[in-house]
Structure 1
């Protein structure tokens, strides 16, 4: 089947929409369904690296989600999608907003994301994901979670 760049970009953007919906619905299975079997992720939460099953374990995602009350909101902004054949690269900004269990108020913070994807059996899957938060270089080394685009 021949794919156009427009179709590929639309399919990749739909994958990101599915992530947003999976988080809103608190559906770990929907969230991890977008990852390849051999995915490698560098998330905000420890450990430094997740690979294979650890990068797409619905039980781990469910455990992370259990740390929040109410909705978990994800928003993407300024996503840049580049496609070449069966490989794609996306980078942009992601906002995470939620209320941690036991806290009276929630938080909202913008992070940076870089995602590598591969088309496998006709479906785009995430093979690499890197999330990061800048930190202040003023000697405090505090995460710069107050930044906004």
Structure 2
């Protein structure tokens, strides 16, 4: 019978990602950046196509916070999160409800897709790659 319990690595990674999402909601820039490796890479929805390095990653968040500040009911909530972990490498996929009240009224389905690649550094899991995407509108 399969177990719904997460392994130690899966639980640690889930907590890391949940803390990251909470930091985004709280607009805690240091919290958003925490838990990432220095040479991380991000593929995001708005330009640029790719972001390399923790400082460049840090610079991408204030414009998003400004967008979210336009509405006190803006959301950035994990709806589902799945983690697969090996000894030194792991990945996670998540679906998030993300947007302003107006965004979510127009399209209430949770639709931000998140894929995260992680590696173990000094005995702790850290995010090495983030990929954010929205489904293409048809």
TM-score calculated relative to the size of structure 1: 0.74
Q: State the 1:72 CA deviation.
A: 4.3
1:90 aligns with 2:92: yes
Map of 1:35-114 to 2, 5 A cutoff?
35-57=36-58, 59-69=59-69, 70=72, 72-98=74-100, 106-108=102-104, 110-114=111-115
Q: Which has the higher helix share?
A: 2
Alpha-carbon distance, 1:46 to partner: 0.9
Match of 2:107 in 1: none
In 2, Cα distance between the equivalents of 1:111 and 1:67?
15
Gaps of 5+ in 1: 99-104, 136-142, 145-149
Name structure 2 gaps, 5 residues minimum.
Answer: 1-5, 105-109
3-state SS of paired residue (2:7)? helix
Separation of aligned partners in 1, 2:32 and 2:22: 8
Moved over 4 A (4+): none
Counterpart of 1:101? none
In structure 2, C-alpha distance between the alignment counterparts of 1:8 and 1:26, rounded to whole Å: 27
* Cα contact 2:68–2:99 (8 A) shared by 1: no
